[in-house]
Amino acid sequence: MTTAWQHTPVLLTEAVDALLGGPPPAAGPRTVVDATFGRGGHARQILQRLGPQDRLIAFDKDVAAVAAAAELQDPRFSIRHQGFGQIGELPRGSLMGLLMDLGVSSPQIDDPARGFSFRAGGPLDMRMDTSRGQTVAEWLAAADVQQIAEVIRDYGEERFAGPIAKAIVARRQEHGPIGSTTELAELVARTVRTREAGQNPATRTFQAFRIFINAELEELQQALKASLDLLQPGGRLVVISFHSLEDRIVKQFIAHHASDPFDRRVPFAAPRAMRLQAIARTKPGAAEIAANPRARSAVMRVAQRTTG
């Protein structure tokens, strides 16, 4: 018997309102994309708001998420077993809305077998798509100190990246590769002597390895770039991020494409067409954070495709 791991979507109503809040399409039904299906919290509410001829296309690289999507018996809905970096395969100008709820879902965190959390013992896996790719344990078994330190520093913003990397390699040389989440968390805790109040010493290291092994930031950049070609004029881009690395990429992307079309540094250059209009930046309220503490770091940014 398997456990039905639950997920509470963050900014549920706000995200769907923003996604479907643009002007109606010039002609024909609407097509929108939920680029990170998870357990379908956002998708179900989107379907409640769509018309009978509209359609919702979902993406998810997690095999368990794709299996959960089979419960949605709605002819307007389909799902692809792909990461959201592959949304560029959709027809150009075909979307009126694109939602990306980034990061790791509660079922992934809460299931020890997935290896995302330091709070319960499990294999050091962390792959969002368990059907392919290298696990964190397999990567750590071969990576050198410099490679490990760069990942921890760049993706975890961890100031003790060097000592942690050295400790991991020393542990590997003395006792063999690290294979479990518990082993890694304990090693990091012994290495990191100080940490912000209330934060586990291994938090940043686990984040870094998860982002790296799933190429999360690269996938986000691919999807954002593709959104410019996919969205119709008036189409909405809605992105919910959970840490500063993601949010910085989204913020800079929207700002770049929603800025003054004239480059004041090169006054005689041809003007650059403004392709996005920044609509909103939203964070969860106190009531949502109290009910779902995992929402506390969420930031939702909304932009609308212009005619440029």
> How far apart, in whole angstroms, are the C-alpha atoms of residue 162 and residue 259?
39
Query: From start to end of the chain, where are the E strands?
Result: 31-34, 55-59, 77-80, 95-101, 231-241, 276-282, 299-305
| Structural domains present in the chain | 12-106+216-305 (3.40.50.150), 130-213 (1.10.150.170)
Tell me the two tokens of residue 226: 């593709």
**Three-class DSSP category at 278:** strand
Choose among 88, 68, 6, 100: nearest CA to 292: 6
pTM of the model: 0.91
Percent of the chain with pLDDT over 70: 93
Residue 123 · residue 135 · CB < 8 Å: yes
Element (H, E) at 11: none
Average pLDDT in the 238-250 region? Answer: 96
Q: Taking each helix axis from N to C terminus, what angle separates 41-49 and 12-19, rounded to the nearest 10 degrees?
A: 50
More confident residue, 195 or 30: 30
- Per-residue pLDDT tens digits for 272-306: 677 999 999 999 999 999 998 889 999 999 999 99
**Across all residues in the chain, what is the average pLDDT?**
91
pLDDT at 1 over 60: no
Distance from chain centroid for Cα 6: 18
pLDDT at 251 over 50: yes
Q: What's the per-residue H, E or C state across 15-59?
A: HHHHHCCCCCCCCCCCEEEECCCCCCHHHHHHHHHCCCCCEEEEE
pLDDT at 26 over 80: no
Neighbouring-strand partners of residue 219: none
pLDDT at 123 over 90: yes
* Position 267 confidence tier, pLDDT thresholds 50, 70, 90: low
pLDDT at 32 over 50: yes
Tell me the two tokens of residue 298: 């969420």
- Per-residue pLDDT tens digits for 192-239: 977 777 788 999 999 999 999 999 999 999 999 999 999 999 999 999
Tell me the two tokens of residue 109: 């965190």
